[in-house]
Amino acid sequence: MTQKILKVIIVVNLQKDGSSELVKEISSYLKSLDIDVFVFSYSGKSKIPKLETADLVFSLGGDGTVLFCSRIVESMSIPILAVNIGDFGFITEISKKEWKSAFIKYQNGQLDLSRRVMINVMVERRGERVAFHKGLNDAVISSNGISNIIKLTLQINETSLGKYRADGIIVATPTGSTAYSISAGGPILDPEMEALIINPICPFTLSNRPIVVSGNEVVTITVEDGQRTDVILSVDGQDAYPLKVGDKIIVERSQTKALLIRSDKRNFYDILRSKLNWSGGANA
């Protein structure tokens, strides 16, 4: 079905080489089609801007730019055309040379959407919510120092899984399964699955293993007393919040999803094979 596109938001990471030129190229083309264009550019860390709704969002940068962009538009359910400036990431499937053909194909109804689970991450302190974040990749509770074990209690819904002594715990979405979680020994999930990964980071007890749970589950992690280091919450590696003893970090699936426009040139498994150098032969 043909997509009617009247307004487009372009989110661009200016730290990427060639980003300024690409913004001008895309803006000029869209304006020639009488499409209203709004550009939000940033460099380094940026606060989440308040944007009016649109029919489409261009994300120009890498995977980090898509993470940032998804949190901007998540509540508005706007499709994201993620253009990679540089090497392909696990999320960005479209190269900067392919943006125009991808846009035209999407406009003509020839490209589908990949619907990705996002998470709501809340911090409760003495029964009061003191922080709220949204993420596409993961929530990480860890020490704010180097190689310091922290003490956490893990609960799924009303069931306690016990106390964890580890460098931290990652709660990852299927999209985030190829981010920090995979480096910590977690499994790779199809990015459109309805699931969450709970992955302890270097646990003191070897029986504490990564587990995959239904996307309907609510994960609660409590910061125990007797910590020898500061404890911090990080969401998508972009939002950070200092934690205190007794804090409860609640992670649950968001009611809305990130909508990423699929490429017809490559898919998640093509990128996975390339990025992880799977040869499939004797030396694999």
Concerning whether 17 is annotated as a catalytic residue, the answer is no
User: Encoding tokens for residue 79?
Assistant: 């499709």
Q: How far apart are CA 25 and CA 44, in angstroms?
A: 23
**Total residues belonging to the chain:** 284
Marked catalytic residue, from 63, 167, 236, 247: 63
Query: What residues act catalytically?
Result: 63
